Amino acid sequence: MGVNLYKIRYVLDFIRRQGKLPTDEYGEFLPASDLLVWFRLKECLNMDERSYIEEELVGMIEAEMAVEKLKQSEQVRSGMS
């Protein structure tokens, strides 16, 4: 099957344009496998492409979590001054 890198690029751009990744009712980011369902990607990607996107989503989740921590530490620092 293989991976169509053009399709991957457009799908990832689409996801990024949606803004912050979806979270559950507790504010936790959805797992990458759930995001595949959320964005209905299982219907438009082959198995190799889904695996590739899932890895990218894991990275996006980790990046958003890191940014959230930075924002929290910034708020704490600004509250100290």
pLDDT band, very low/low/confident/very high, at 74 (cuts 50, 70, 90): confident
The backbone torsions φ and ψ at residue 80, rounded to the nearest 5 degrees and listed phi first, read -80, -25
Q: What is the pLDDT of residues 46-57, one digit of tens each?
A: 999 999 999 999
The backbone torsions φ and ψ at residue 2, rounded to the nearest 5 degrees and listed phi first, read 85, 180
Q: Are 7 and 49 in contact (CB under 8 A)?
A: yes
pTM of the entire structure? 0.84
How is residue 67 written in tokens?
């940014």
Q: Are 8 and 53 in contact (CB under 8 A)?
A: yes
Q: What is the pLDDT of residues 15-32, one digit of tens each?
A: 999 999 999 999 999 999
Domain extent listing, the chain: 5-80
CA 74 to chain centre: 23
Q: Is the pLDDT of residue 65 over 90?
A: yes
